[in-house]
């Protein structure tokens, strides 16, 4: 089987995405090497997020929806006492409040409230469609629109480390959960505001970032495989 036939027949590639790469950037880089017509990712990761991005090629692109629907695990960090319009560091701080009276017990108590089935309001800086336009398009034009809440389920919200104003967390959740919205709502519950400063996706279903390749390492591996295949 030729190199191209292998990827047309379907492969699933695990990428450990670096900071500032878009999910499309990763797909484009892989596609330019394997020259396969069908290449796609199974769930966007924001440029400011790192971690597991699943790339499907050829016939395996039919599996994308199934993979997207699987549960996710994230680790990351919130900064307490600050807020931004996007609820992460993509936009400038627009609010600052004192967090010094926030105790570990209070943080633990609030985090437990987030576990379970619930309705979540996506961020206004998101790709959710409202009247045919992306929500972030309205947000960039300073237009207020009502974004429909979505059903989600948070299985675990664990505080891993306290280094106030920074707290590290692990969250296990269903598809469609916005960690930025959790940052927003968590900060509101605490009464001091919070922003998402770091985010890493570690698991999608049974797929784990520990089995993934860095983008450039995967690219080198594919190039080597392609050369070896052509020399047979």
Q: Which residues are catalytic?
A: 46
In the numeric block, which tokens belong to residue 23? 């999910």
Can you tell me the distance from the alpha carbon of 123 to that of 152, in angstroms, rounded to the nearest whole number? 14
Nearest Cα residue to 199 out of 20, 12, 13, 14: 20
Can you tell me the distance from the alpha carbon of 38 to that of 64, in angstroms, rounded to the nearest whole number? 12
Dihedral, CA of residue 47, residue 49, residue 50 and residue 55, to nearest 10: -60
DSSP string, 76-107: EEEEETEE-TTSBTTS---EE---TT--HHHH
How far from each other are the two terminal CA atoms of the chain, in whole angstroms?
A: 10
């Amino acid at each position: 089987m030729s190199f191209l036939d292998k990827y047309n027949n379907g492969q699933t590639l695990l990428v450990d995405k670096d900071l500032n790469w878009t999910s499309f950037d990763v797909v484009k880089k892989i596609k330019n090497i394997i020259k396969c017509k069908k290449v796609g990712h199974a769930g966007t990761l924001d440029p400011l997020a790192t971690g597991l991005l699943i790339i499907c090629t050829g016939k395996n692109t039919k599996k994308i929806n199934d993979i997207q629907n699987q549960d996710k695990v994230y680790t990351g960090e919130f900064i307490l006492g600050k807020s931004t319009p996007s609820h992460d560091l993509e936009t400038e701080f627009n609010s600052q409040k004192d967090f010094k009276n926030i105790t570990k017990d209070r943080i633990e108590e609030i985090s437990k409230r987030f576990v379970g089935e619930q309705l979540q309001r996506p961020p206004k800086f998101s790709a959710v469609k409202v009247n045919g336009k992306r929500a972030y398009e309205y947000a960039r034009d300073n237009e207020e629109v009502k974004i429909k809440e979505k059903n989600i389920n948070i299985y675990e919200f664990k505080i891993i480390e306290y280094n106030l104003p920074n707290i590290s967390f692990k969250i296990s959740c269903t598809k469609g959960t916005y960690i930025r919205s959790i940052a927003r709502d968590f900060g509101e519950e605490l009464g001091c505001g919070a922003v998402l400063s770091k985010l890493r996706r570690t698991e999608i279903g049974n797929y784990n970032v520990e089995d993934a390749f860095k983008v450039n390492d995967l690219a080198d591996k594919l190039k080597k495989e392609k050369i070896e295949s052509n020399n047979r």
